[in-house]
A and B are shown apart, each in its own frame.
Chain A
């Protein structure tokens, strides 16, 4: 069975190897499934000639065949059929659903493999499931689509980054995000910066620059096993993107035009009854007034996202080509925000040398422009003054007249009611401190494949991924002086990311005996990257620009450094090999090995390191007789280890030139015996199919141990150094992934397919370093992320109420509650997650789909809520003032019971940067309707216009959710590793509703 499939695959790849041998007739027809639904993409091969074709969108095919020749029709997931061509010209065939596991999947390095030989878990998401939502950041649409995949989207809106973690965080240092691979070749997916509790904004990632309509499918290789062929970058799993190609014989034009509208789901609960005293910034009056309200909701706008794309593809028996153009614009929910993206892709492949050689080239161009990406944190964030504006003041006046003319300086100045580092006029920040990002990117790749024979082939590939990224913010004079100098401030970075990748792979497969098959892959690869190279300058608050509001290099004072920037420069070379030995087509042994040479470990003696992986899979259903209800059963198991190199320039860093013209000496302790980090994975899985493959169940359990963590620690003060590095620590991730899929209804023209994914991962920081009791990892003031032995990555520490032995809150002599130091309050990761996706179709006209995601357990913390308390604007602080006191079960320091506390004292203590955050730790548990879509295929064939198909769909994203937290726990302030589960004035979560029209010609 397997050999046949491989044969077919090879045949499909080498369509039309031979010329016309004898008289041909044109044969055509339609290939459908048992229900008569057309099967696009089915392969038809004339066995005698090896001539082949594939069906179009409507299942139609056309091929030249002579009478008496045999057509073999195959389609993934269906039994292959053969028919003999007779005198008729039309042969319409309905295929019978077959062994769904004879699927060819894309595995590491883009090598196609029969799924049943895989000894580790992988899951594929088809493009229609990714793009039907028309999410501006398509990676967000992966949420719930595969087990073991945790997705958190950035709060920064269109063009924002996505946090993807497969099987838990594995590193105390890195961000544990998987490698992104396009058509077998790694791509750059750098997140340049992320906001923290203080300030900053997301700057997107590499994924956001891809045209989602170019994607054919995404396969997720979850474990390190899958990644051994990519080396260390794949240690956190691999997300493999396969892009669309042209198809032979059919010229297809597809046009998509969509619009979605984005709106804020909810804003924090605020009071508008009590203003400030004496012109203060905090609204702590206890006298009710009649003040403006509703302006917070009004501040957010309904954003419109437009996505238009066109693709043209086609080919003949020698050359196939695919071209696409994609354009999206978005104006988000925060005024002035603007995101524009243009993509052009061109992919073509040509067969040469009697079709033995295939040359494929692919060019992807992207231009991404973002204006005023929303940030988070205290500083220069319009939401801070928006939420906390003293209630007795006139909002409209403040908001409209964000600048006033200052005759003393003859320029406009910011209108702000308090000189306070967190407060800026929202409109001033948006209009007079504009942020502009621009990313221009080109990914080009070339793939040459030569088939020596059916058994032996060689492939060489090279890819160059280049992006030029500019980030600029121009802060006008009189912007908040905490961040800005007298004449304004200029932040400017122009950075290039380059990745050159090349590999060569020799593949061999053969049947050694009737029972024994062998597939061998051996290769070598080289990758060389230079990230973050360019120029960077920030004039900060100490640099007084020569002339106000002029932002260029000439205008910089002497104490501002223009820096030559370099993020990292790394070269890795590797040789690798993989062998799969099959016995009787039901038992497969998979052995891989890789040796890396990493430039970052040079001089340690550890710059060359080897790591192996082993796996075994058994198709039990073909070995023994199982009850009839079980149509297929496979068990698999594997062991793998992956080494990870250390960051750039850590072995022997040098000194830096300072703005003062002096030199800062490097005071890092030399570390010449650094070792690579090690990630070891053990995985077992079962794949079962029931009732003639109508229902499938895939279960995986794994244990991932990360050791030799590379950590930078503060050196003891007396050591003579300031920092030193160690290899230490152990992190263990254990988990279960379950994917249940089924064709629940297949009756007449109604079908309902459903996939339920379940993920449970537990993470333990087993140890860090003997000298450390814990390690901070982001947050600030009232909340911290910390690694503590015995804890987990994502542990949140907040200040709690000080309590007596009976658990009563202790009140100090002034009547305010006492606070503890930071104590463990929860963990940002869920206990388990469920994703349930469903697709319906009624005839060939109506389709519908929805996905429901649930996260259960875990905690998140709203620092926004404590800040709102501190400013006296939280709704609860107003209600407490209405009531005149806060009822508490407390004691004073002498142990006497206290039952009520002054609202101002209470919420001041539960407020501001260092307030008691305990009450604002919420369960992460939430259930949401992530996506809902309804599509209708118009019958355009009868209209006599050159349109083949027209589909209109209504789509909704993030429509409803239920959660205890006052903010959306699935929206991340930072998509990096640290400060997870913390909200501090992030843009509220949004829902989008819209429609998309797809026309095919």
Chain B
């Protein structure tokens, strides 16, 4: 009896312990999706695109408190970190957008390219490339040199100089456009493309428009290459984004427009004083599309017919509560379902500038300027564009921060340009009008406006009232602007020789006052 029991138990145990074959299955998470499973419906090449597109536009500490503030679109009422932060030229949030681009676009994009190359899906390879160029060019607008060509190599990774970046991007765009153009009826993107529904001709227009954007960036530092590439974009049979229907719109996939959360939920963003000054001075019909009127008329006593009030960027903020009654963003954004990333207005303004620079353009500078304004009005659903374009007297307003004592945060507008085109003006005067309108139209997508402002000096925006820049990250003179974001601190430790290489390629100290490649500081023409 006892022997039997012993054997039964022994056999039972041996059965239990003899199997480790299912370990591999045990160590996988059934709620994750494998590349093998993703092959169904070609999701292994396509399903990542929504996440990748969604990642291009960042959050509060990537845009709203950075470029949106430096280019004076939005301003914050909140004195973050004791009032000393990115908006007052003391970087607190440095690496966030960098990490987003590398973590959510470059790293997975690299895998998508590999999978697509192995499977022979060249259209997907090029599509990924196009999105990576768009994203990386936005990131380079912050930092300058970035890791691009050597991305995904082991050990310390060297950066690309900005000159190299643009050359690389142009040649990559050549490949994108030629590949797309060879198969314009390709329908493989359809399930993964919330922007264009998989339409290849639209993506070609986007690629050409991106080339034009990048060409314009280097128009001062390398006019020859800029003209070549700009005209290539203009003359490509695929065309440019010239109407709003062709805009690259980024789906929010059901999420709220992020500025709605920042403005209404968190009360951390408001209209900028520059928006008040420029839209108010031009009596701009887009104002109610951009901003909510104030409830308290005493805030706008100096311009009662224009019931919008903004906060100066880089303001002194005694407390958050003080500026909350100022204009929030427009309630219209609460029903927004997408965000523009490349649009017709931007393209027309770029063409207008191209014309001034002697590139061959479809229309005159004047015509592209007015078409840019018209496209912007149409995009925002604002009326009265003809009267607006005819306004040759209105100039931006001076600014009074009514809730702060005395002259705190006040400024006198430096802009004397009016809206109406003046063909007799100098190129410089014309450029100021173009860039000022381009700046207005760029609202909600301000990275390129920040590039333009640094590159051309227009619009003539107010300086920071509160400038907390110091030797930690470099000093920005009181009558200048934030010129770049420093490299992420992690690069110094994680990629030490890559970092020192990057600094040498930057051509100046790794500080916020070091000019980027295309920001020559020289004259515009």
> A654 touching B266 by the CB < 8 A rule?
no
Interface contact B48-A663, CB-CB below 8 Å: yes
B81 near A663: Cβ-Cβ < 8 Å: no
Q: CB-CB < 8 A to A719: which residues of B?
A: 152-154, 157
Instruction: Flag if A662 contacts B490 (CB, 8 Å).
Output: no
Closest A residue, CB atoms, query B20 = A597
A603 contact set on B, CB distance < 8 A: 24, 27
Contact across chains for A504 and B13 when beta carbons are under 8 A apart = yes
Within 8 A of A (CB), among B88-123: 98-99, 102-104, 106-108, 110-112
A290 within 8 A of B: no
* Residues of the B chain whose Cβ atoms lie less than 8 Å from the Cβ of A559: 253-255
Q: Is B322 an interface residue (CB 8 A)?
A: yes
The answer to whether A504 and B82 have CB atoms under 8 Å apart is no
| B34 at interface, CB cutoff 8 A | yes
- Beyond A542-B255, A718-B151, whether A282 also contacts B319 by CB under 8 A is yes
Stretch at the interface among A12-20, A848-856, A906-914, A941-949: A906-914
CB-CB under 8 A from B111, the residues of chain A are: 665, 667
- Assuming the A-B contacts A662-B48, A716-B494, are A575 and B17 also in contact, with contact meaning beta carbons closer than 8 angstroms in the complex? yes
Task: Answer whether residue A573 sits at the interface, using C-beta atoms and an 8 A cutoff.
Answer: yes
Q: Are A481 and B264 in contact (CB-based, < 8 A)?
A: yes
Q: Which of A227-235, A264-272, A320-328, A413-421 contacts B (4 or more CB under 8 A)?
A: A413-421
Contact A656 B254, CB 8 Å, known A450-B2, A460-B9, A648-B27: no
Given the known interface contacts A597-B20, A663-B48, the answer about A772 and B493 at a Cβ–Cβ threshold of 8 Å is yes
**Contact code string A912-924 (vs B, CB < 8 Å = 1, else 0):** 1111000000000
A717:B33 contact, CB within 8 angstroms: no
> Cβ of B40 < 8 Å from any Cβ of A?
no
* Contact in complex: B152, A720 (CB < 8 Å): yes
Listed by A's residue number, 24 A-B pairs whose Cβ atoms lie within 8 Å are A278-B319, A280-B319, A450-B5, A460-B12, A559-B254, A566-B29, A566-B30, A569-B26, A571-B23, A599-B27, A602-B20, A602-B26, A649-B27, A651-B27, A653-B32, A655-B35, A658-B50, A658-B51, A659-B254, A660-B54, A660-B251, A660-B254, A663-B33, A714-B494
A607 CB–B CB distance under 8 Å: yes
Task: Mark out the residues of chain A between 630 and 651 whose CB falls within 8 Å of any chain B CB in the assembled complex.
Answer: 648-649, 651
Interface digits, A300-337 against B, CB 8 Å rule (1 contact, 0 not)? 00000000000000000000000000000000000000
- B498 contacts chain A at the CB level, 8 A cutoff: yes
B107 contact from A282, A421, A599, A722, Cβ within 8 A: A722
Contact with A along B185-206 (1 / 0, CB 8 A): 0000000100000000000000
Measured between beta carbons, the chain B residues less than 8 angstroms from A448 are 9
Chain B CB within 8 A of A502 CB = yes
Are the C-beta atoms of B32 and A654 separated by less than 8 Å?
A: yes
The residue that B17 contacts in the complex, of A524, A569, A667, A913, with Cβ under 8 A, is A524
A458 adjacent to B321 (CB under 8 Å): no
Whether A718 pairs with B9 at a CB distance below 8 angstroms is no
Q: Could you give, for residues 533-553 of chain A, a 1 whenever the CB lies within 8 Å of some chain B CB and a 0 otherwise?
A: 000000001101000000000
Min C-beta distance of B131 to chain A, whole Å: 13
- Tell me if A661 is interfacial: C-beta within 8 Å of chain B: yes
Q: Please report B residues at the A interface, Cβ cutoff 8 Å.
A: 1-2, 5-6, 9-10, 12-13, 16-17, 20, 22-24, 26-35, 38, 43, 47-52, 54, 81-82, 98-99, 102-104, 106-108, 110-112, 147, 150-154, 156-157, 192, 251, 253-256, 261, 264-267, 319-322, 324, 488, 490-491, 493-495, 498
A458→B493 contact, CB < 8 A: no
A279 within 8 A of B: yes
CA A656 to CA B1, docked complex, whole Å: 55
Pair B147/A717 contact, Cβ less than 8 Å: yes
Taking a contact as CB atoms under 8 Å apart, the answer to whether B261 and A566 are in contact is no
| Interchain CB contact under 8 A, A544 and B324 | no
A interface residues (Cβ-Cβ under 8 A, vs B): 278-282, 353, 356-357, 418-421, 448, 450, 452, 458, 460, 481-482, 502, 504, 524, 526, 541-542, 544, 557-559, 563-566, 569-571, 573, 575, 597, 599-600, 602-603, 607, 648-649, 651-667, 714-722, 771-773, 908-909, 912-915
Majority SS at the chain B contact face: helix
Determine if B24 and A656 form an interchain contact, defined as CB atoms under 8 angstroms apart. Answer: no
Give the nearest-CB partner of B115 in chain A: A665
Closest beta carbon of chain B to A466's beta carbon, Å: 19
| A597 CA to B81 CA, complexed, in Å | 50
| Contacts beyond the supplied A280-B321, A421-B266, A558-B254: 10 A-B pairs with Cβ under 8 Å | A504-B13, A564-B31, A573-B16, A649-B32, A654-B29, A660-B251, A663-B48, A717-B99, A771-B493, A914-B82
For B491, what are the chain A residues with a Cβ–Cβ distance below 8 Å?
716-717
Are A663's CB and B47's CB within 8 A?
A: yes
Q: Which residues of B contact A597 (CB under 8 A)?
A: 20, 23
Q: Tell me, in angstroms, the Cα distance from A345 to B47 when the chains sit together.
A: 52
CB-CB < 8 A to B156: which residues of A? Answer: 716
* A353 surroundings in chain B (CB, below 8 A): 1-2
- Closest A residue to B403 by beta carbon equals A278
Q: In the complex, what distance in Å separates the CA atom of A714 from the CA atom of B153?
A: 15
6 interchain residue pairs of minimum CB distance: A718-B157, A662-B50, A720-B152, A559-B254, A660-B253, A481-B265
Chain B residue, CB-CB nearest to A482: B266
* Contact residue among A600, A664, A912 (Cβ-Cβ distance under 8 Å from B51): A664
The answer to whether residues A504 and B9 also contact, given A452-B2, A649-B27, A716-B494 and a CB cut-off of 8 A, is yes
Given A542-B261, A655-B35, A720-B107, A912-B82 contact (CB < 8 Å) = yes
CB pair A714–B26 under 8 Å, yes or no, is no
B107 A667 Cβ-Cβ under 8 A: yes
Contact A656 B33 (CB under 8 A): yes
Q: Which of A282, A652, A654 has the most CB of B within 10 A?
A: A654
Choice from A279, A600, A657, A718 contacting B33 with Cβ under 8 Å = A657
Question: Contacting B157 at CB < 8 Å: which of A280, A420, A716?
Answer: A716
**Contact partners of B32 in chain A: CB under 8 A:** 649, 653-656, 666
Alpha-carbon distance between A357 and B6 when the two chains are bound, in angstroms? 11
Chain B residue at minimum C-beta to C-beta distance from A663: B47
CA of A608 to CA of B104, assembled, Å? 36
A714 to B319, CA, bound (A): 37
Measured between beta carbons, the chain A residues less than 8 angstroms from B498 are: 716, 718
- Contact assessment for B51 and A662 in the assembled complex, using a CB-CB cutoff below 8 Å: yes
Q: Is the CB of B27 within 8 A of A278?
A: no
Q: Are B147 and A718 in contact, CB atoms less than 8 angstroms apart?
A: yes
B456 CB to nearest chain A CB (Å): 30
How distant is the Cα of A941 from the Cα of B154 in the complex, in angstroms?
Answer: 83
Known contacts A564-B31, A662-B49, A718-B152; A482/B265 CB under 8 A: yes
Contacts of B82 in A (CB 8 A): 908-909, 912, 914-915
Write the nearest CB–CB distance from A539 to chain B, whole angstroms. 12
Q: How far is the CB of B471 from chain A (nearest CB, A)?
A: 12
Q: Could you say which of A541, A602, A665 contacts B24, with CB atoms under 8 Å apart?
A: A602
Minimum C-beta distance from A538 to chain B (A): 14
**B321, A654: Cβ atoms closer than 8 Å:** no
Give Cα distance in the complex from A614 to B111, angstroms: 49
Closest residue to A353 on the B side, CB-wise? Answer: B1
**A660's contact among B9, B50, B157, by CB below 8 Å, is which?**
B50
Q: What is the bound-complex CA distance between A452 and B156, given in angstroms?
A: 66
For the complex, give the distance between the alpha carbons of A33 and B112 in Å: 80
Q: Which of B27, B35, B321 contacts A418 (CB 8 A)?
A: B321
CA distance in complex: A656, B9 (Å): 43
Q: Are the CB atoms of A570 and B33 closer together than 8 Å?
A: no
Which residues from chain A contact B20 at a C-beta distance below 8 Å?
573, 597, 599, 602, 607
Q: Which residue of B lies closest to A419 (CB)?
A: B267
Q: In the complex, what residue of chain A is closest to B253 when comparing beta carbons? A: A660
Residues of A within 8 A of B112 (CB): 665
B16–A526 touching, CB < 8 Å: yes
Q: Is the CB of A717 within 8 A of B6?
A: no
Q: Report the minimal beta-carbon distance from A543 to chain B, rounded to whole angstroms.
A: 9
A722 to B101, CA, bound (A): 11
Chain B residues within an 8 Å CB radius of A773:
493
Chain B residues near A663: list those with CB within 8 A.
Answer: 33, 38, 43, 47-48, 51
- Distance between Cα atoms of A925 and B431 in the complex (Å): 69
Tell whether, in the assembled complex, residue A419 and residue B99 are in contact, meaning their CB atoms are under 8 Å apart.
no
